[in-house]
Structure formats: structure tokens, C-alpha cells
Structure 1
Amino acid sequence: MRPILIAALLGTSALPALAQEVNIYSHRQPELLKPLTDAFTEATGIAVNTAFVDTGMVERLKAEGDRSPADLIMTVDVARLGEVKEAGVTQPVEDDALEIIPENLRDADNEWFGLTTRARIVYASKDRVADGEVTTYEDLADPKWRGRICTRPFTNDYNVALTAAFLAHHGPEETKAWLEGVKANLAKKPEGNDRAQVKSIWAGECDISLGNTYYMGQMLKDDEQKEWADSVRIVFPTFEDGGTHVNVSGVAMTKSAPNRDAALQLMEFLVSDEAQKIYAETNYEFPVSDHVERSELVASWGEFTSDETPLTEISRLRPKALTLIEEVDFDG
């Protein structure tokens, strides 16, 4: 292990910083990263500057080229991680410390790395859906759910990734039939975000919806949305021949990386037990490190087995998945 990772794991700050700063371009709001970056600065003395780049990340990095001040990109969803790699604005990173991340949660060429995971689950009405009534993703196409499912648009990145995972398990014909079946079971046209679907369940408009796990944590801390969250429970469906679909928040080093050594230290810190615990608890997500415990709230949602389909395969299949979604006019 590099010395700075050892220092991070031991909670010490005795080692000198090798650089003065690290600059991050992030799709996540800086306040979500601040507990992490503050802990890193305290341990190393290296300042971290975070710029929130909601849209146009690739275009910005391409325009800046070698002059870009960005060292790291921190983002969510394999789609965005794959996008920055395909655009040629990242570089491979070889480092023993990063091998703690399971192979299926990092790029095969080491150009991006998953830091935390979130499961794509079913929110089910506590009043109208029995325990054990939802078991698999395949089951969502069963006519027993006719008029009972709500979802955000399937052209959204999260649902495209789920469809790509389904495609990896079943191939195009079965995937298209599944999409048609789920569409036939919708209670209303896809719209809104994941939390809006839980609100619809609370309002009695549908009985189940697809969503990411962390939204439960976000709703529970919101005075208005807590009532929505209390009306549902989390169910972890699986693929018939696999586990529960997960996606990631992740990190990649930019091609320019003017502060490469310091940026690598931050990447190493991000997979330490301390950082994994902070990041997962702040965002209600699951650590990628198996020996870091989940937060009490996240653990209360139950145990599940993650699907082992490599995210690089899901990224590769996204264009085909999107084509199938559009062929069945899922959101129409």
C-alpha cells in the first residue's frame, strides 16, 4: 500500500502532503462530497476544490483539453462513467489499493472505479402488496400487476441500465417482450422521478414502483416526503438467474490531471474504511468494500445479493437497451 493510504486507514495525519490541491468536477452536489473531502484534507493537508458540473461535463473537458484544471471526475451511474471514458477525457490508473473494488464494479481498463453502490429495487405498498408477492424483475411483466405499476420514464439512465442488465441475462427477444409486458401493467404514463412514484403509491394511484434504494433515506429526512416513505417497504427483486441489479457512484482520473499524485492519494483514500463509511452514510448507499458495515438505516432495509453482471457489460449494452425501449414506445 502507498503510505498515504496507510495513514488514512489508521486515521493519522502525520504524513506530509505531496501536492497542495486536488480539483474535482462532480455531477453530485459539493455538499454531498464535503464530508469526504474534509476528512481527506484533515488527514493529508491537501485542499480539495469541487466544481458542480450538472451538464456538459464531456464538452467542458474536451474544450479545456490539456489546460483543464480538473484532476478527478466524480459521478453517478455507469452511463456517465462510460461516457467520459468513451470521450477520451480520462486515463487508466494502476494502483494496488483500488483492487479492493470488486472487478464487476470497475472498468476493465481501469479508467473508472465504483465507490458506492445503489440497488434498483421495488417500492411496494405496505397495505396493498403482500410479503413475497414481488420476487423477480421478470415478474413485473406478469399480468397480475396490470394497472398497478408506476415508474419514471424508461429512457432515464437508471432504467436504461436495468434494461441493459436484463438484456445481459435474457437477450433481445425476451427483453423486448418484458418491456412490452411491464408497459402493459402501468397504472399511468411514465413521468417524474423515483420519489414521485412513491408519492403515487401513497396516493393510491399504483401499488409498486421501481426506484433506487437511497431515495428512501432522502424521503425519510424530508418532512413532506416522510409520509410517502412510510407507506412503502423496500423489496429486493432478483433476476431469475442472478441477483439484484446495482449501479454505482464512481470516480475517474482526467487525462490532464495537473495534480496527479495528490489525485491518486484521494482515490486511495476514497476506498479506505473511513471514507467508505462516510460516503455510504452521507448518501444512503452501500460501500463497495465488503468489510465496511452499512449504516444502521441502510442495513434496516434488508439483505440482498448483488447481481454479478459486470458494469462494463451493462455499459456496452446500453445503446441496444435504449433502442428496445424506444421500439416498444415505453414512455409513449
Structure 2
Amino acid sequence: MRMKLAATAAMALSALPLSASADGEVNIYSYRQAYLLEPLLNAFEKETGIDTNVVFAKKGLAERLEREGRNSPADVVMTVDISRINELVERDLVQGVENQTLNQNIPENLRHPEGKWFALTTRGRLIFTSRERVEEGEITTYEQLADDKWNDRICTRSGKHPYNIALFSSMIAHHGEADTQAWLEGVKDNLARKPQGGDRDQIKAIAEGVCDISIGNSYYYGNMLRDDNQRAIAEQVRLVFPNAEGRGTHVNISGISLTKSAPNRENAIRLMEFLSSAEAQRIYAEANTEYPANPDVTPSGLVAEWGAINPDQLSLQEIAENRNAAVKLVDRVDYDGE
């Protein structure tokens, strides 16, 4: 029993076929990096005796599935971000799963209504503030990011990045397009610089005094704290769980879908069930400083030290359906412009 891994660039994917017919295996296409999956899949193989084969890529897996069609060897796709997961649904590349174990382990708002995807972990889209220049409790909601008091004090990555699009989509779901546009215009007016870089770069910008506030995923902060070269930078910011006293903090997910071809369907569903279990949820969440999707599993390690998160109960599928409207708003307010 040994996990087989093919780490590839998207352009090289077609050169790395997987066996589609052997018994006792499951074939995985993954956007998640190998080191995150290895402990999980080793535990699955030990428990079930089913071998796992993994193709990893940074992009291009949906296109590969489309190209391979019904002859694809892939049984499941593991990926991150609700927009990317929903792309598989929109391209008709995945099938629904009606499974009691999965439905019991994964809350309704963190799975597709027809079982076409299931969340495995969640990450909060948090506000980071300077410990020196922003008082604790001075900002507590996403809505307050548009307040005039933060003029020239906010840094973010591109408004078109999927993580921000998901947040903006959730704002549309809660407030409607017109109010979200007004809010987004206010956030843009408060930017200290043109949107750039990734979530870690926004934390670095706070440490460097470029801005006082940023938006970012919780796991980036956790991974910085684990990095000896970045810990001192991360320690200069304070975590804020927006809207914790109200509707809850917006969360995004990593998730899994069963492909339409799924030559090893039964084994694939056993893997999906295992990944939703308490044992796997603890391993997976702790490996990347994320929150378990299974509400019966408590966070551990660094994540537990941050305190409880009150996640927004809005359906992630509803957020995905607002994606196009959110992209148009970003263009309309020229969020990424000077």
C-alpha cells in the first residue's frame, strides 16, 4: 500500500496517465499540494487497503477532465475555493453523491444540494490589523472596511482573485448588488496602494507600515507563524473575525467531488467518507492550519489558540452563484485600478 504521486505542471499533465481499471485503488486529481495529502492518504490506505494514485497540478485539471471525457481515469478531484469547485459542476464534470455518512459529517451549507461537492476544510476570510496602529475592537465587520476613518490605510490583493470574489459574492447575498457596489467603492477609496501580491504580502505591508489593515485567509497567517523566517512579521498583526457577533465570518473551503467517469466509484466514495471522518478531519485541518468542515471535530494546534470561529451559515453554493455579479462589480468600480 503506497500513495503514488505525479507532481506536474499543467502543460505536462497529458503525459502522465493513470491506470483506470486496476482493482483496489482510487485515482485523485488534486490542486492541493502533495505534503497536505500524504498523511491523509497514508491513513486511508492503512485503514482500507485501497491504494491511492495522485496527479497534482496548479491548474488545468478541469480542462484535462473535459478532454478525457468518459475515458478519464480520475475518480475524484480535490481542490480549493468555491468558485473553482463550482466550475467542475458548471462544466458537468462531476456527479452527485447521495450518501448518509457524508450528509451527517458535512453541514448542508458546506455541500452541494445534489452532492456534487463536499467541503473538507474551511478557512476564514479575516481582517488583519496592526497591533501598534489599530486598537483592539476598532474594526469588527466587513462593512466597516468602507468607513472614511480607514482612508489610505487598507491593503488587499487583486479584487479579482477568487478569495476576494467569494467574499464579495457573500456581500451581494447579504446586501444586494447596489449596496455591495457602494461598499466596494468605499473600500477602494480606502486603499493605501493598488491591489497587488498575495495574502501574505498584505500582512508584510502592515509590518512595513504601508497600511494598517488587510484582508486575508486565516491559514496564510497560521503558515507564517510556522515559518521561522516569517513568524516575526505575522506577530505584528492582530486577527479579527469579522461579523462574529452577527451573521458570522465568511469562510471558503477545500473540497472534493466525484468525477462523472469514476472507474473506481465505490473506492472513491469510501475515500470521501474517510475524509469527512473525525480522524481525517483532524489530520487535514491541522496540516494547513484550517478549520474542520465536520462540526463535531474541534480545531487543534494554532487554530485552536485563535479561539472559536462563528462561520457565516450562508450556503457556499449561493455564494458561487453570485460570482459573475461580483466580478462585474469589481470591474465597474475599477477596484484594481490606480
Q: Same fold (TM over 0.5)?
A: yes
Letter in 2 for 1:148: R
Q: Pairwise mapping of residues 203-214 of structure 1 onto structure 2 (< 5 A)? A: 203-214=208-219
CA distance in 1, matches of 2:248, 2:27: 36
Q: Contact 1:119 / 1:212 at 8 angstroms: preserved in 2?
A: yes
CA shift, 1:19, in A, is 4.1
From 90, 95, 100, the counterpart of 1:96:
100
Corresponding position of 1:54: 58
Corresponding position of 2:68: 64
CA shift, 1:274, in A, is 0.3
CA distance in 1, matches of 2:98, 2:58: 28
- What are the Cα deviations for residues 167-194 of structure 1, in whole angstroms up to 9, with x where unaligned? 0000011000000000000010000000
Greater mean alpha carbon deviation, residues 288-297 or residues 199-208: 288-297
Letter in 1 for 2:157: R
Corresponding position of 1:143: 148
- What are the Cα deviations for residues 4-35 of structure 1, in whole angstroms up to 9, with x where unaligned? xxxxxxxxxxxxxx942111101111211111
**Structure 2 segments unaligned to the other structure (5+ residues):** 1-21
CA distance in 1, matches of 2:253, 2:65: 22
- How many equivalent residue pairs? 315
Q: Contact 1:19 / 1:261 at 8 angstroms: preserved in 2?
A: no
Q: Pairwise mapping of residues 50-199 of structure 1 onto structure 2 (< 5 A)? A: 50-99=54-103, 100-199=105-204
CA shift, 1:304, in A, is 2.5
CA distance in 2, matches of 1:251, 1:201: 34
SS of structure 2 residue aligned to 1:108: coil
Question: Which ranges of 4 or more aligned residues in structure 1 deviate by more than 3 Å?
Answer: none
- What are the Cα deviations for residues 121-147 of structure 1, in whole angstroms up to 9, with x where unaligned? 011111111110111100000001011
CA shift, 1:236, in A, is 0.3
CA distance in 2, matches of 1:184, 1:314: 25
Corresponding position of 2:314: 309
SS of structure 1 residue aligned to 2:254: strand
Letter in 2 for 1:51: V
CA distance in 2, matches of 1:28, 1:304: 24
CA distance in 2, matches of 1:137, 1:161: 13
Corresponding position of 2:18: none
Corresponding position of 2:19: none
- What are the Cα deviations for residues 203-222 of structure 1, in whole angstroms up to 9, with x where unaligned? 01101100000011211122
Q: Contact 2:29 / 2:55 at 8 angstroms: preserved in 1?
A: yes
CA shift, 1:241, in A, is 5.4
Is 1:295 paired with 2:307? Answer: no
CA distance in 1, matches of 2:43, 2:62: 28
RMSD of the alignment, in Å? Answer: 1.2
SS of structure 2 residue aligned to 1:39: helix
Corresponding position of 2:48: 44
Relative to structure 1, is the Cα distance of residues 240 and 297 closer, same or farther in structure 2, using a 3 angstrom cutoff? closer
Identity percentage of aligned residues: 54
SS of structure 1 residue aligned to 2:149: helix
- What are the Cα deviations for residues 38-64 of structure 1, in whole angstroms up to 9, with x where unaligned? 000011111111111211121100111
TM-score scaled to structure 1, two decimals?
Answer: 0.93
Corresponding position of 1:249: 254
Corresponding position of 2:15: none
Is 1:221 paired with 2:216? Answer: no
CA shift, 1:239, in A, is 7.9
Corresponding position of 1:35: 39
CA shift, 1:319, in A, is 0.3
CA shift, 1:296, in A, is 2.5
Letter in 2 for 1:131: E
SS of structure 1 residue aligned to 2:322: helix
- What are the Cα deviations for residues 253-276 of structure 1, in whole angstroms up to 9, with x where unaligned? 000001111101000000111000
Q: Contact 2:244 / 2:310 at 8 angstroms: preserved in 1?
A: no
CA shift, 1:328, in A, is 0.3
Q: Contact 2:107 / 2:295 at 8 angstroms: preserved in 1?
A: no
Letter in 1 for 2:283: I
CA shift, 1:240, in A, is 8.3
Letter in 1 for 2:45: T
From 276, 285, 288, the counterpart of 1:280:
285
